[in-house]
Structure 1
Amino acid sequence: MNETIVGLVGIGGLFALMILRTPVAFAMLLVGFFGTWVLSGFKSAGGVLLTESYAAVSGYSLIVVPMFILLGNVASAAGFSRGLYDAAFAWVGRFRGGLASASVIGCAMFSAVSGSSVATAVTIGKVALPEMKRLGYGPALSTGAVAAGGTLGFLIPPSTGFVIYAILTEESIGRLFMAGVIPGLLLMCLFIATVWIMSVIDPAAGPRGPAVPMAEKFRLALGAAPLVAVILLSIGGIYVGVFTPVEASGIGAALVILLALVSRSLTAPKFRQAIFDTVKTSAMLYMVVIGANVLNPFLAMTHIPTTLGEGLAGLGLGPYGALAVIVVAYVILGMFLDGLSMLVVTIPIVFPIMMQNGFDPIWFGVVAVIVVEMGMITPPVGLNVFVVKGIAPDVPMATIFRGVLPFLFAMLICLLLIVIFPQIALFLPNTMFG
């Protein structure tokens, strides 16, 4: 049987398994194993399964995943997220739509701890949504701001999306982390601008919050300062070359645990639950990496990436035309797949095409992550929308999707700016010392 046909059948089978709710890791394992068996025999398939599984989880760089997840879980269990939100609210809550803007800022700051969009949306949403409801915020604006703000967890380092991308493409985790900083801050500012515009259009949806005395603002900022210092130490240490990403993750987790113990905000049961959640999430991500490593050799044997690249080149669209096609494909896939699944399934296919067109792999990592972020809030399968729905069960799903629509336009503007001005993503990686 023709290798390309086998590959297309395999990809079709992969999507069918995911539609049938098979976990993406096991769907990739099954397709990778049986596809290699068909093309190269059972012995070769067994060898790929054994060697790639071991290679996937034995890599030193993958330690950043459980360490940063632990950091985020401990920070959440200790209630540090409340301090981040309260500090943001004290400084911007007095402005029109201030609570929604504070939610976005809180999401951005907690993203620099958790590296997870879902964890960010849940943690900040539990704090922010009741406050916005109490002060009469429109449900579309409040839920939309939290759902969109949560996506920053996939872009602002330590992003699990960048870790997975780095492993799949063999790029530097540290450089990818740095590449996400300025785009993440840019997107945060665009989200805040979106909140302001929505509040101007409908003042009742985003009323001003109460004024906070200057002394109270500084007190709350001081309370959030230790966690912010840990964030700056971890990410800044990577930038100046003092730490590797693995070392930064370990130091950050240790410092947050120490902060929680010193402040007596972390009980033994909460700490045990944080450890349990870390193990569970890390095991899921490790299985995804194993599945991707087993699937990749099969895709390489089918020559599908090369064939697609040649097909796009034959259309005469040029590099940016090919990029546009891939972005549109990502947006469509984002309507049906969660972000992590989309990343691990598509990167082995589209990454070689982007390299053939001469794009910078670090820059494309940022573009891919932003497009995946868009998929997290697009109907009908916007994962962050369902997360927010779980926190605000009284808000109809249609209202939440209506609320995130303006934020999708903000993400599109951010994406266009990064395409037009690549240095937005590449400035920090290109000036790193390490």
Structure 2
Amino acid sequence: MSDLTIGILGFVALFGLMIFRMPVAFAMLSVGFFGTWIVDGLRRAGALMMTETYGAVANYSLIVVPMFILLGNVSSEAGFSRGLYDAAYAWVGRFRGGLATASVMGCAAFSAVSGSSVATAVTIGKVALPEMKRLGYGDALSTGSIAAGGTLGFLIPPSTGFVIYAILTEESIGRLFMAGILPGALMMLLFIVAIWVVTLLDPAAGPKGHPVALAERFRTLARALPLLAVIVVSIGGIYLGVFTPVEASGVGAALTVILAFATRAIGTRGFWRAVMDTVRTSAMLYMIVVGANVLNPFLALTNIPEALESTLTALGIGAYGTLLIILLSYLVLGMFLDGLAMLVITVPIYYPVIMALGFDPIWFGVIAVIVIEMGMITPPVGLNVFVVRNVAETVPLSTVFKGVTPFLLAMVLCLLLIILFPEIALVIPNSMFG
């Protein structure tokens, strides 16, 4: 049996284990270890387990994961997310579809402190969905705007997806964070346009809210300013070269904790819950990185990336034809896998192909994250859809999927624009790093 055949069987085993509900980290760990044992012997497999597992968790750059997760969890426990939403609603709520627009804007703002799609959808959903129900919003628009808005957590820095992509490809976390800013802003604007179109066609789906006096608008903005300042200091510090991403994560987390206790917005119990949530989520992400680091050498031994590159080249469909096949494969995988699983499984295979085709790896990182985001709101898995469904318990799942359809079209348009105009993703990192 050839090494390539063993590699293909390893992939079949990997998907089989995940179908039988084995956590993706342990599925990758098992396939990587036993696959290496079969191809190169037990000694190599054992050495791989020792060196790669230690090297993965000892990676200094990974510190950004628990720090930014802590920042988001403390913000959520302290109720700062409510302040972001209230500020957005005060300014845009009086327009048709204003509450849904405020929800998307709140998701975008909270994404800049959480780095997590699911956390963003849950946090803003708990605040916004009861308000939209009270004002008579259609279930499809209200739940769809939250599910789609939550996906911004995977794109707007500090994105966990960008951190994992950077670790797997050894690209710069700072460049990837900066590359996500304009695409994230573009996607937010396209989501708002989608809301405008939906309410134009069906005004009852998103009735106008109550006007808020100018003085009150500024007061709500002032209440949100401390957390907005933390966002500006953390992300702005990276852009200005004051902080590295790791330093920015520590500064942001520290400022948020100090702010939460100084304003008495959080107590000891709330802080403990935030810390324990951070530990659990970080442990899960660290295990995924460990599993990927054990699986990747097995893939290299079996020459799967090279075989894929040769196969795609032999098709003669050109660089963009190959890119289209890769993106379509992400859409298919998104129907069965969550975002991080797709990222850690596919990037080691697709990255060498993308480099051989001459595409910018930072640009591809943005493209990959957007397509993975699309998988978060497409059936049958649609993780964000199920998360929002759990918050809005009385809304049928089919209604939530119907509600995300306009936003899915907006994401497709955003993807096409970034493919046609790569500078949307690259202008900021290129201006910073040369």
TM range (shorter): over 0.9
Helix, strand or coil: the match of 1:94?
coil
Task: Report the counterpart of residue 305 of structure 2 in structure 1.
Answer: 305
| TM-score, normalization by structure 1 | 0.99
* Matching residue's letter, 2:174: G
Task: Report the counterpart of residue 27 of structure 1 in structure 2.
Answer: 27
CA contact (8 A) 1:121 1:146 kept: yes
Matches within 5 A, 1:106-121: 106-121=106-121
**Cα distance in 1 between the residues matched to 2:245 and 2:290:** 21
Matches within 5 A, 1:137-152: 137-152=137-152
**Cα distance in 2 between the residues matched to 1:103 and 1:15:** 36
Matches within 5 A, 1:218-367: 218-367=218-367
* Matching residue's letter, 1:41: G
**Cα distance in 1 between the residues matched to 2:235 and 2:314:** 42
CA contact (8 A) 1:140 1:399 kept: yes
Helix, strand or coil: the match of 2:432?
coil
* Matching residue's letter, 1:388: V
Task: Report the counterpart of residue 371 of structure 1 in structure 2.
Answer: 371
CA contact (8 A) 1:292 1:345 kept: yes
Q: How far 1:262 sits from its partner (Å)?
A: 1.2
Matches within 5 A, 1:197-208: 197-208=197-208
* Matching residue's letter, 1:333: L
**Cα distance in 2 between the residues matched to 1:17 and 1:200:** 47
Cα RMSD (Å): 0.7
**Cα distance in 2 between the residues matched to 1:169 and 1:432:** 20
Question: Deviation string for 1:64-120 (max 9, x for gaps)?
Answer: 000000000000000000000000000011111000000000000000000000000
CA contact (8 A) 1:239 1:433 kept: no
CA contact (8 A) 1:121 1:149 kept: yes
Q: How many residues align?
A: 434
**Cα distance in 1 between the residues matched to 2:384 and 2:356:** 33
CA contact (8 A) 1:240 1:433 kept: no
**Cα distance in 1 between the residues matched to 2:216 and 2:17:** 54
**Cα distance in 1 between the residues matched to 2:347 and 2:407:** 25
Helix, strand or coil: the match of 2:242?
coil
Over 3 Å counting, the alpha-carbon distance change for 1:298 and 1:269 in structure 2 is same
Task: Report the counterpart of residue 416 of structure 2 in structure 1.
Answer: 416
**Cα distance in 2 between the residues matched to 1:258 and 1:346:** 39
Q: How far 1:432 sits from its partner (Å)?
A: 1.1
Matches within 5 A, 1:33-52: 33-52=33-52
Question: Deviation string for 1:194-237 (max 9, x for gaps)?
Answer: 01100111100010100000000000001101111110111111
* Matching residue's letter, 1:373: E
**Cα distance in 2 between the residues matched to 1:406 and 1:305:** 36
Q: How far 1:433 sits from its partner (Å)?
A: 5.3
Helix, strand or coil: the match of 1:52?
helix
**Cα distance in 1 between the residues matched to 2:188 and 2:143:** 16
**Cα distance in 2 between the residues matched to 1:300 and 1:80:** 45
Task: Report the counterpart of residue 136 of structure 1 in structure 2.
Answer: 136
Q: How far 1:261 sits from its partner (Å)?
A: 1.0
Helix, strand or coil: the match of 1:378?
coil
| Residue 173 (1) aligns with residue 188 (2) | no
Helix, strand or coil: the match of 1:432?
helix
Task: Report the counterpart of residue 158 of structure 2 in structure 1.
Answer: 158
Q: How far 1:41 sits from its partner (Å)?
A: 0.3
**Cα distance in 2 between the residues matched to 1:152 and 1:49:** 35
Identity of aligned pairs, percent? 69
Task: Report the counterpart of residue 194 of structure 1 in structure 2.
Answer: 194
Question: Deviation string for 1:120-173 (max 9, x for gaps)?
Answer: 000000000000000000000000000000000000000000000000000000
**Cα distance in 1 between the residues matched to 2:11 and 2:135:** 49
Q: How far 1:175 sits from its partner (Å)?
A: 0.4
| Over 6 Å off, 4+ runs | none
CA contact (8 A) 1:241 1:433 kept: no
Task: Report the counterpart of residue 216 of structure 1 in structure 2.
Answer: 216
* Matching residue's letter, 2:377: I
| TM-score, normalization by structure 2 | 0.99
**Cα distance in 1 between the residues matched to 2:308 and 2:433:** 37
Task: Report the counterpart of residue 402 of structure 2 in structure 1.
Answer: 402
**Cα distance in 2 between the residues matched to 1:240 and 1:269:** 36
**Cα distance in 1 between the residues matched to 2:51 and 2:158:** 28
| Residue 426 (1) aligns with residue 426 (2) | yes
Structure 2 stretches lacking a partner, 5+ long: none
Task: Report the counterpart of residue 386 of structure 2 in structure 1.
Answer: 386
**Cα distance in 1 between the residues matched to 2:417 and 2:294:** 36
Question: Deviation string for 1:224-251 (max 9, x for gaps)?
Answer: 0111111011111111111000100000
**Cα distance in 1 between the residues matched to 2:433 and 2:151:** 29
| Residue 89 (1) aligns with residue 79 (2) | no
